[in-house]
Structure 1
Amino acid sequence: MLKTREYRFTQIFAHIVCILFTLCAVLPFILLIIASFTDNQWAISNGFTFLPGKWSLEAYGYIAEQWGTIGHAYLMTLVVTAVGTAVSLVISTLFAYGISKKDIPGMKIVSFLLIFTMLFNGGLVSTYYCYIKLWHIKNTLWALIIPNLMMNAFNVILIRNYFTNSIPISLEEAARIDGAHEFSIFLRIILPLSKPIVATVGLMTGLAYWNDWMNGLYYLSNRGGSRYYTIQIVLNNINDDIMALVQSATSSSGMATAAANMPTTTIRMAIAVIGILPVLVLYPFFQRYFVKGITLGGVKE
């Protein structure tokens, strides 16, 4: 096909725009990593740049000293993310499969109630009271899992739209003629054809669990729930401890010496790198499913 001048211009312009947006997304991550290896005093004096005048591993050295706590937190984060994501996918896919059946009485009411929860909720106080008094999740592992399971209405709608618009109803009808029951159809036909949307929702749910620290703040106390701290909670606590040490430096010469020797500025960057590293490693493996799943799952009926 002969490419016209307008076509070439459009392609060049589109590539330039994509490159600019890519740089806007990638450069902050590069600066973050470089800043975590920058000398603390140099960063305080000159700020963060892509070519720092002095490199240092002080920030990671401090984190290494705390690795006994951080390692346990990483393990807890992996457990919470794996269990929470798996249970959330089971609930979301089963719920979505049920409300995708228009011939089942009452499904429109259930769909309405699902969408209603996206627009309105009982508020933080009532939610906290229900989880503490009715579910009894305070200072337990479930405090990091259950609250996020109750907030996945958007994921259910994405999966339902995928089931409705991307999987031919004739496949289900043929399976029923062959004697397959509903659960068998769901496991052997629906789920294998829904890998893109399941991977997409799984990725978003996993990210939510990995980055979550609010549930730990609400439902875990230092006295009884510290053993369930995840990496985000621990790293946030380390950051708070450093801030407290710096603020106390003016009242004690010993504190001032400790604060002067601690990489108070660059350690924030190192903490951020530690937190996002697993996500950066795993995301490329899910990207192809993510693009397809979010596109097809977002199609309106």
Structure 2
Amino acid sequence: MVEKNKMFQLFANLFMCILCVLCILPFMLLFASSLTNERTLIQDGYRFFTTKIDFAAYKYIFVDTDSILRGYGVSVLVTVVGTVTNLVITTLFAYPLSMKELPGRRFLSFFLFFTMLFNGGLIPTYIMWTQFFKIKNTIWALLIPNLLMGAFYVIMLRTYFTSSIPGETIDAARIDGASEVRILGKIVLPMSKPILSTLALFVGLNYWNDWVNGMYYINDDKYYSIQLLLNRMLLDTQFLMSNANNKYGNIDTSQLPSTGIKMAIAVMGVLPVLIVYPFLQKYLVKGITIGAVKG
């Protein structure tokens, strides 16, 4: 029996090591390709170890360093503020729904679930945000539409509250005279760190990777997020490459590292996420398992 457990453990560890390598290799290939000379990349294809390092793609991206830094600043601001606000609103919605004695609980749950199935469509949504809420070309355009609260996250958090927070603990606090706000702040939230960290990662990734709202509602470049800015750079590069026999100003379009630019843009977008992820990783699996499977 012990021998079988050792063999299973060895096989499981080997399998996880292989899976880990398979997850890391694409990022290594992406980073190496972004540093590879364009001609070498076209002739030899993608390789993990480049024979000729070339920073031309990054030089092209950082021609306007101020725009890049401003884009990162906008993305960081929107991600932090949006994630915190999302968690606050989601928590304030999910906590009452976890209480079985809440009047109208079934209607509120149905109303929440209904929004996951139906929406007004793109054109009515655009008209609503631009004509009535006037968020076009403001920072609110990157914060509010589609991202400020998600029904799926509310359901995950409600399920966690229902299945993982002992009802006896909450009842005892009420008997001692604690208000609902105090119970939520002093008991429920400290016991909900795994699911809150998981939701913070999901919501933060949504905000960080979002460029669609910027494309719909932002025309002023001072509000460009890093994803929207990099997307515009990619579109500009594709336009220039479609006119490779021409010259625009001091740019020789025939010498643009088009493939390397795509790789460098991907690196610029994913690098901050790779830096932050290890700090939230330990909560991720536990939060997903408890919040989504039980209940």
Give the deviation of 1:210 after TM superposition: 0.4
Question: What TM-score, normalized to structure 1?
Answer: 0.93
Of 215, 218, 226, 1:217 maps to: 215
Give the deviation of 1:141 after TM superposition: 0.6
Equivalent in the alignment of 2:253: 259
Matches within 5 A, 1:143-222: 143-221=141-219
Equivalent in the alignment of 2:242: 247
Cα pair 1:200 1:289 within 8 Å, conserved: yes
Q: Are 2:267 and 1:269 equivalent residues in the alignment?
A: no
Equivalent in the alignment of 2:292: 298
The SS at the match of 1:139 is coil
Deviations 1:179-224 (A, max 9, x none): 1111111111111111111111011100100000000011112xxx
Deviations 1:156-179 (A, max 9, x none): 111111111111011111111111
CA distance in structure 2 between the partners assigned to 1:186 and 1:148 by the alignment: 26
Q: Are 2:285 and 1:287 equivalent residues in the alignment?
A: no
Equivalent pairs counted in the alignment come to: 295
CA distance in structure 2 between the partners assigned to 1:254 and 1:155 by the alignment: 48
Structure 2 unaligned segments of length 5 or more: list them: none
Percent identical residues = 47
Deviations 1:11-62 (A, max 9, x none): 3332333223222211101100111111111101111111222111111122
> Residue 176 and residue 21 in structure 1: after superposition, are their counterparts in 2 closer, same or farther (change >3 A)?
same
Letter of the 2:253 counterpart: A
Give the deviation of 1:274 after TM superposition: 0.9
> Residue 257 and residue 62 in structure 1: after superposition, are their counterparts in 2 closer, same or farther (change >3 A)?
closer
Letter of the 2:170 counterpart: E
CA distance in structure 1 between the partners assigned to 2:279 and 2:239 by the alignment: 40
Equivalent in the alignment of 1:27: 25
The SS at the match of 1:38 is coil
CA distance in structure 2 between the partners assigned to 1:280 and 1:196 by the alignment: 19
Equivalent in the alignment of 1:142: 140
CA distance in structure 1 between the partners assigned to 2:206 and 2:83 by the alignment: 9
CA distance in structure 1 between the partners assigned to 2:24 and 2:115 by the alignment: 35
Cα pair 2:86 2:149 within 8 Å, conserved: no
Cα pair 1:40 1:265 within 8 Å, conserved: yes
> Residue 281 and residue 150 in structure 1: after superposition, are their counterparts in 2 closer, same or farther (change >3 A)?
closer
Q: Are 2:93 and 1:99 equivalent residues in the alignment?
A: no
Q: Are 2:231 and 1:236 equivalent residues in the alignment?
A: yes
Give the deviation of 1:63 after TM superposition: 2.0
Letter of the 1:240 counterpart: L
Cα pair 2:147 2:207 within 8 Å, conserved: no
> Residue 15 and residue 22 in structure 1: after superposition, are their counterparts in 2 closer, same or farther (change >3 A)?
same
Deviations 1:203-254 (A, max 9, x none): 1100100000000011112xxx32110000001111111111111223x256
Give the deviation of 1:299 after TM superposition: 2.6
Please tell me the root mean square deviation across aligned C-alpha atoms, in Å: 1.7
Question: What TM-score, normalized to structure 2?
Answer: 0.95
CA distance in structure 1 between the partners assigned to 2:215 and 2:183 by the alignment: 42
Give the deviation of 1:10 after TM superposition: 2.5
Equivalent in the alignment of 1:46: 44
